Amino acid sequence: MPKGSVAITTERCKGCGFCVEFCPTHVLELSNAFNAKGYHPPHMLNAEKCSGCNLCGMYCPDFAIFGYKYPDQKAQKGEQGQ
Min CB(2)–ligand SF4 separation in Å: 8
Q: Select 65 or 70, whichever has its Cβ closest to ligand SF4.
A: 65
Q: What does 50 interact with, of another protein, ligand SF4, none (CB < 5 to 8 A by kind)?
A: ligand SF4
Is 12 near another protein (CB under 8 A)? yes
Min CB(24)–ligand SF4 separation in Å: 6
**In this structure, what are the phi and psi dihedrals at residue 67, rounded to the nearest 5 degrees?**
-105, 150
Residues 6+ apart with CB under 8 A from 22: 55, 56, 59
